[in-house]
């Protein structure tokens, strides 16, 4: 049976619904999807976003040439016209905790969709040199902060002529293509397996190649080199590899070739090894259980171990895709509606 509560209009043409206040934490694809479906059921929905713009990874991570920001902004504006409220520059876990949102602010339930924004690094010498970036920071500076506009940007971009991107996923492809657009004359992608094993989508790799990105397969960095006087990157020391037996995932494991150390001159290094789930909410909300990787644990209805709290997207899945995150937001909205209206 259909148990959803439809949106209605009062005499003034304004939307109204059940007298329940819903908090959506994070305005990425999972959060926006959840907010939309909750609002269509008539709930009073407020989205809390840590940044000054809504959209999450769609505005800070995915480049303009893959996803025009006007599309994301149009969707946000539609939500606002539907009556969804947005509180920007609100960092849940610092500005207020989840528990405070449910008690002091009077919300009846909350959805956590804070994504996977904690970048991974190699842990090798030299990662603190000037000119070493996580792909997350590099793309955020370019996409969200417009750092390429040196005259207006509060955090101007780091100019580099030769850039090395370490990693083989879609984010590595985005970073490499962005580096070319930001003026790099040469961009290398260093990956410790072969093209066959790359996790990036085939078309993303092809687009990078068409634009001039050079791939260096079966190589992996062991140290980042720099100038001790200036503190800036000067190169990368890498090892060559060959493929051995398959690992637990079925991909052939790379094996270092003894004596194959070599240097790759460069003036910027972008580390694109993926991201871990955002740790702030689990650290400030011990009632929410996480797995050993920091992902929030949920049941088949996206419910967490904390009463009145649901979660979805990359904070649950780890770094995944926009469409999967949107699906989790929709599923959570249905579960929340069932809980409140049932």
Split at pLDDT 50, 70, 90, the class of 284 is: very high
∠ CA(107), CA(296), CA(341), 5° rounding?
35
At 154 the pLDDT is: 80
- Measured CA to CA, the distance from residue 274 to residue 81 in angstroms comes to 35
How many other CB atoms sit within 10 Å of the CB of residue 312? 31
At 17 the pLDDT is: 56
Number of H helices, E strands in the chain: 10, 18
Split at pLDDT 50, 70, 90, the class of 4 is: very low
pLDDT of residue 8 exceeding 80, the answer is no
Beta strand residue intervals within the chain, DSSP E: 8-9, 15-16, 21-25, 44-48, 85-87, 109-112, 118-119, 132-134, 162-166, 186-191, 214-217, 219-226, 233-246, 252-256, 262-265, 268-271, 275-276, 309-311
At 152 the pLDDT is: 83
Higher pLDDT residue, 239 or 275? 239
pLDDT of residue 1 exceeding 50, the answer is no
CB 107 within 8 A of CB 46: yes
Residue whose C-alpha is closest to residue 272's, from 120, 47, 115: 120
pLDDT tens-digit series, residues 66-107: 999 999 999 999 999 999 999 999 999 999 999 999 999 999
Split at pLDDT 50, 70, 90, the class of 277 is: confident
Q: Which residues of 194-233 are buried (b: 16+ CB within 10 A; e: fewer)?
A: beebbebeeebbebbeeeebebbbbbbbebbbbeeeeebb
Q: What 3-state DSSP class applies to 44? A: strand
At 120 the pLDDT is: 93
pLDDT above 70 covers a percentage of the chain that reads 94
Split at pLDDT 50, 70, 90, the class of 241 is: very high
The predicted model gives 217-226 an average pLDDT of 97
pLDDT of residue 167 exceeding 50, the answer is yes
Query: Hunting for tokens 């990105």 — which residue is that?
Result: 213
CB 89 within 8 A of CB 50: yes
Query: Hunting for tokens 């000054």 — which residue is that?
Result: 52
The predicted model gives 288-295 an average pLDDT of 94
The predicted model gives 130-140 an average pLDDT of 95
pLDDT of residue 153 exceeding 90, the answer is no
On average, the pLDDT of the chain sits at: 92
In DSSP notation, 199-266 reads: -S-HHHHHHHHHTTPEEEESEEEEEEEE-TTT-BEEEEEEEEEEEEEE-TTSSEEEEEPTT--EEEE-
Output the pTM of the full model. 0.89
Query: Hunting for tokens 């930001």 — which residue is that?
Result: 182
- Measured CA to CA, the distance from residue 65 to residue 60 in angstroms comes to 13
Residue whose C-alpha is closest to residue 44's, from 21, 75, 77, 15: 21
pLDDT tens-digit series, residues 16-66: 556 899 999 999 999 999 999 999 999 999 999 999 999 999 999 999 999
């Amino acid at each position: 049976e259909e148990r959803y509560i439809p949106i209605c209009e009062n005499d003034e043409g304004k939307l109204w619904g059940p007298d329940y206040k819903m908090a959506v934490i994070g305005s990425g694809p999972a959060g926006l999807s959840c907010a939309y479906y909750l609002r269509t059921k008539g709930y009073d929905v407020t989205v809390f976003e840590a940044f000054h713009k809504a959209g999450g990874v769609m505005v800070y991570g995915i480049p303009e040439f893959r996803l025009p920001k006007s599309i994301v902004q149009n969707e946000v504006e539609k939500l606002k016209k539907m009556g969804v409220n947005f509180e920007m520059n609100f960092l849940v876990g610092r500005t207020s905790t989840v528990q405070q949102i449910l008690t002091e602010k009077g919300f009846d339930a909350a959805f956590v969709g804070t994504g996977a924004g904690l970048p991974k690094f190699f842990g090798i010498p030299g990662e603190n040199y000037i000119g070493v970036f996580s792909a997350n920071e590099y793309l955020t500076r370019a996409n969200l902060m417009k750092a390429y506009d040196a005259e207006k940007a509060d955090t101007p971009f780091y100019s580099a002529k030769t850039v090395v991107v370490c990693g083989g996923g879609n984010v590595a492809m985005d970073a490499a293509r962005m580096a070319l657009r930001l003026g790099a004359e040469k961009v290398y992608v260093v990956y410790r397996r072969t093209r066959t094993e790359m996790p990036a989508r085939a078309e993303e790799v092809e687009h990078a190649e068409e634009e001039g990105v050079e791939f260096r397969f079966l190589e992996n960095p062991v140290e980042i080199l720099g100038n001790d006087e200036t503190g800036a990157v000067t190169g990368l020391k890498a090892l060559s590899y060959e493929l051995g037996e398959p690992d637990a995932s079925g991909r052939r494991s790379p094996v270092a070739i003894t004596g194959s150390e070599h240097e790759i001159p460069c003036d910027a290094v972008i580390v694109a090894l993926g991201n871990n789930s955002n740790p702030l909410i689990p650290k400030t909300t011990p009632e929410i259980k996480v797995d050993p990787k920091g992902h929030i644990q949920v049941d088949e209805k996206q419910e967490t171990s904390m009463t009145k709290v649901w979660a979805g997207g990359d904070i649950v899945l780890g770094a995944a895709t926009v469409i999967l995150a949107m699906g989790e937001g929709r599923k959570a909205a249905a579960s929340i509606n069932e809980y409140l209206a049932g």
